[in-house]
Amino acid sequence: MRKYLLAAAVAVPVATPALAGAPGPYVGIEGGVTFPHSSDLDVVLNNSSITPSTTATYGNGLNVDYKTGYDLDAIAGYKLGLFRLEVEGGYKHAKVKDLNVSTPLLTDVGTAAGVTATSADFNAGDHIGIKTLMANALLDGDFGGGFGGYVGGGAGRAWASFSGDDDSAWAYQGIAGLRYALSPNVDAGLKYRYFRTGNLGFSDAFALNGTNFTTAASGHYSSHSILASLVYNFNSRGEAPLPVPAAAPAPPPPPPPPATQTCPDGSVIAATGACPAPPPPPPPPAPVERGERG
């Protein structure tokens, strides 16, 4: 399990963190198979048929093997950049496969009852059921092409039902997964989870050959789960908006008007031109002729 989590932890930050989806809230459902570890339970045995009653403690007095079971949960969270914070409510269920009782415990029960004791004389029920409420913190990144991955862990509370009794304890889990965007809002994924509780205690009572016994068994529960997930993101992670086209360059300013000059006759011509020659002066008036005297 540690190898899987370490590999995922290395992969997520390296995989193009700049492409992480838009921040926002999300909800999802998950379900799949769980593979419980066998549970070693310490047992306190009380023989209440004699006065005073006797009590003895047996380390790993019971060993419980489970069949493959199912694991379901619902999640709600918020993504902010590369990080996700979420709340998870779940339920795990697995049937009991075998109950093995330690030789010292069988021997003492058989001696007190005066008959041979077997594992069948002890009651483990037919299943274990565990409800959970967990808070998870995850590192999440996109790989490109619609694919992404995440890794992290969580802690919370577990409520267990086993052998006709109930108890609760703190719990923690490690998580790693892959996801694929089916649409801008919907992700499908595959998730691995390692889960472990704190110490759980269960009481039971049975009789053998007229001798009454009570037991108090305690131990941890742990499991591996493989889950399929479907998550709805309220903030779309669609295609990036098209770039705004650059504004067309402004047209060049018009050329300045050519330099001009005003000629003596009032005409305006280019500064480099020559003014027209002035008109010739008018001819002088003709002389006045005087008449002859008679």
* 291 domain residue, yes or no: no
Other CB atoms within 10 A of residue 183 CB: 13
pLDDT at 225 over 60: yes
* Domain of 66, in residue numbers: 2-233
pLDDT at 96 over 80: yes
Return the minimum-mean-pLDDT range out of 26-40, 41-55, 103-117: 41-55
Cis peptide before 52 (omega within 30 of 0): yes
* 117 domain residue, yes or no: yes
pLDDT at 289: 65
* 155 domain residue, yes or no: yes
The predicted-structure confidence for 152-200, as pLDDT tens digits, reads as follows 999 999 999 998 899 999 999 999 999 999 998 999 999 999 999 999 9
* 141 domain residue, yes or no: yes
The predicted-structure confidence for 234-282, as pLDDT tens digits, reads as follows 986 555 555 667 777 888 888 888 877 778 777 777 777 778 877 777 7
pLDDT at 285: 77
The predicted-structure confidence for 114-135, as pLDDT tens digits, reads as follows 999 999 999 888 999 999 999 9
CATH number of the domain bearing residue 182: 2.40.160.20
* 245 domain residue, yes or no: no
* 287 domain residue, yes or no: no
Beta strands in the chain (DSSP E): 24-36, 39-47, 54-66, 69-80, 83-101, 127-144, 147-162, 165-181, 186-197, 200-208, 211-219, 222-233, 260-262, 268-270
Total number of domains constituting the chain: 1
* 202 domain residue, yes or no: yes
* 249 domain residue, yes or no: no
